[in-house]
Amino acid sequence: MIFSYELLAQAIVTGILIGGIFALISVGLSMIWGVMRIINFAHGEFLMIGMYIAYFLTAKAGWDPYLTIFITTPMLFLVGALIFQSTIRPILKDPSMNQIMLTLGLSLILQNLALVVFKADVLTSSTAYTRMNFMLGPVVVRGSQLIAFVGSALTAVFLYWFLQKTESGRAIRATAQNREAAALVGVNVRTTYLLAFGIGSATLGVAASLMIPFYYTSPTVGLFFGLIAYVVVVLGGLGNFIGALVAGLIIGLTESVGAAMLPGSLSRVLTYSLFVVVLLFRPQGIFGGKQQ
């Protein structure tokens, strides 16, 4: 184990910035679970689709990476809505194992389609933002990660406002709390399911565009982020919006500190040790039992 205060400070700053992205990726998964009680195991592959769209717009078409948000966000909404309508809606009342196997199958199909179309190449997009760094004392702050953190925070604030202040947002929250009662007071539950799944997928479009300046794209990129999203959602409390945001920051910190302080093969011990401890002593999650 290597320790220095400068290294620790760097790891903390980097962890907070990356944690913002983890939180944004996890919020959509948490919303889908909260409304429909289904875990989308293809969540990471939806992010992969968004990253390929952002990559080609940036590297091949010459777009500013952050302008691609206006393409990736609606595209991921449409992808989520189409997949929900065609595959997930018919099995919503089926046993949980059927739902798990379906979304796992979707994950494998999307991964292998990406391998066929794009091969196994790891693609990176170098932009002016990639090379933009700031010094904060001994700590290097990557400009692209700072922009991603701010963008994630603004997206989370907007999404929270949408859920709290709009009719559609209140319908989503009502359906999450009690779908039968929501239907009795006039909420169209079928449409609300579609909207929630689409929005949960659209957040990945935002995350993909924010990540393109500093993260690679490949057919398997969704595996890591999908796993992180499940850990974050469970730690924060299944279906809890605020819990997903806080847990995303916590996991970002533990990932970064673990990578800085432990050898490569042990770098994620800290993250999963924290996960196991929380499951042992608070299995409902940090904010479990609270509705937002």
pTM to 2 decimals? 0.92
pLDDT at 38: 87
pLDDT of 83 > 60? The answer is yes
Place of tokens 């565009």: 209
State how far the Cα of 264 lies from the Cα of 268, in Å rounded to an integer. Answer: 8
pLDDT of 94 > 90? The answer is no
Q: Tens digits of per-residue pLDDT, 109-155?
A: 999 999 999 998 899 888 888 888 888 888 899 999 999 999 999 99
pLDDT of 292 > 70? The answer is no
State how far the Cα of 138 lies from the Cα of 147, in Å rounded to an integer. Answer: 20
- What angle do helix axes 221-236 and 241-261 make, rounded to 10 degrees? 120
Q: Tens digits of per-residue pLDDT, 224-247?
A: 999 999 999 999 988 888 999 999
pLDDT of 3 > 70? The answer is no
State how far the Cα of 234 lies from the Cα of 248, in Å rounded to an integer. Answer: 11
pLDDT at 290: 46
State how far the Cα of 26 lies from the Cα of 285, in Å rounded to an integer. Answer: 14
pLDDT of 213 > 90? The answer is yes
Domains of the chain plus CATH, in order, are 5-281 (1.10.3470)
Q: How many CA atoms are closer than 13 Å to the CA of 158, on its beta-carbon side? A: 10
Q: What is the mean pLDDT of residues 193-210?
A: 96
Cβ atoms of 244 and 34 within 8 Å: the answer is no
Instruction: Give the lowest-confidence range in 9-23, 221-235, 257-271.
Output: 257-271
Quick one: DSSP state of residue 132? -
pLDDT of 68 > 90? The answer is yes
